[in-house]
Amino acid sequence: MKKSELTKLIKECHEEILTEARNSSPFHKYVYFAFNYPNNWIEKIWEGNTHMIEHLNTKFNSAYSRYGSKAAMNMFYVDLDSDNQQIFEDWVMANYNG
């Protein structure tokens, strides 16, 4: 293999690794989740906790009504207590592949 071919291959692999790392970063996952969240995502995250599901659906719907689609998820997130922020973060990191 020529040196130029090897250099090209290394650059391609490096870019692929960087892209994969970037796509799995917490920030990347959160931003893409915020704009592409699945149906019933609150029910999926807080599965089995009916009271919390109802409460958080109300909270998210209120944020959506007040701030619109571009800011609702951020306002929802900052309004969560630290325990529920952690539950949310853990679920997004483990389950969202958008």
> 10 falls in which pLDDT band (50, 70, 90)?
low
Is pLDDT at 14 greater than 60 in this prediction?
Answer: no
Distances (CA, A) of 30 to 6, 58, 80: 36, 21, 15
What pLDDT, in 10s, does the model give residues 22-72? 566 888 899 999 999 999 999 999 999 999 999 999 999 999 999 999 999
Distance CA 70, CA 45 (A): 21
Distance CA 45, CA 87 (A): 7
Stated pTM of the model: 0.75
The pLDDT assigned to 53 comes to 98
Domain ranges (residues) in the chain: 26-95
